[in-house]
Amino acid sequence: MSGQASRLDRLLGAGHYTQKARRARKEAREADWTAVYVVGFDGDECIKVGVAQDLEKRLANYRVHSWRPLRVLAVCYVKGKAQALAAERRLLERFKAFRMRGEWLRLEPGITIEGNRALCDLCRADGVEPLTPEEQAAEVMREQTERMGNLRLVVNNILAWKPGEVQ
Buried b (16+ CB within 10 A) or exposed e, 37-53: bbbbeeeeeebbbbbbe
Sequence ranges of the domains in the chain: 3-159
Residue 29 confidence (pLDDT): 58
pLDDT tens digits for range 56-109: 888 888 888 888 888 888 888 888 888 889 889 888 888 888 888 888 888 776
User: What's the pLDDT band for 8 if we cut at 50, 70, 90?
Assistant: very low
Output DSSP code: residue 108: P
Residue 56 confidence (pLDDT): 87
Write out the H or E segment, with its range, that includes residue 34: strand 33-41
Q: Measured between alpha carbons, how far is residue 145 from residues 22, 51, 110, 155 in Å?
A: 17, 27, 43, 15
Write out the H or E segment, with its range, that includes residue 106: strand 104-106
